[in-house]
Amino acid sequence: MAVGAVVFFGAGQTTTPKDNTSALVEIEIPAELSGHAIIGKRLYQENCLACHGENAVGQDKVAPPLVHKIYEPSHHGDESFQRAIAVGVRAHHWNFGNMPKIEGLTRTDVAAIISYIRELQRYNGIS
């Protein structure tokens, strides 16, 4: 599999509202991701980015940031991510509307996406 660059933005760069006017949070991007998270990032980009935005910073009027305290492991454990993909999410925390279930991902695929999001969260002090 072609993995490409380890990070989409350069090491240490920050996604700011200036870079991405629809981002809902400003985060730091880790210089390196684990191998599992790199796989997860690709899957994230193919399946989640369109709504949750580049690096899971959310998208104004579309979907919430996943690099957010609400989604820390103790409040939204890995199983709630699995469930969100398998059956979708009824809007409850925000006013973005419902999330549809996402077809074509195995639990293993979703586990890799979770690794990616957890690494972004931890790097930004959400754990």
**Binding site residues, ligand HEC, CB under 6 A:** 47-48, 50-52, 63-64, 66, 71, 76, 80-81, 84-85, 89, 91-94, 96-97, 99-100, 102, 113
For ligand HEC, give the closer residue by CB, 29 or 76: 76
For ligand HEC, give the closer residue by CB, 7 or 102: 102
Q: Within a 13 Å sphere around the CA of 109, how many CA atoms are in the beta-carbon half?
A: 14
**78 vs 95: CA distance, rounded Å:** 23
For ligand HEC, give the closer residue by CB, 4 or 97: 97
For ligand HEC, give the closer residue by CB, 16 or 98: 98
**28 vs 55: CA distance, rounded Å:** 10
Torsion on CA atoms 2, 81, 63, 112, rounded to nearest 10:
-10
Among 53, 48, 59, 72, smallest CA distance to 24 is for 59
| 52 close to 66: Cβ distance less than 8 angstroms | yes
Minimum distance, C-beta of residue 64 to ligand HEC, in the bound complex (Å):
5
Minimum distance, C-beta of residue 110 to ligand HEC, in the bound complex (Å):
7
Minimum distance, C-beta of residue 69 to ligand HEC, in the bound complex (Å):
13
Minimum distance, C-beta of residue 38 to ligand HEC, in the bound complex (Å):
16
| 56 close to 67: Cβ distance less than 8 angstroms | yes
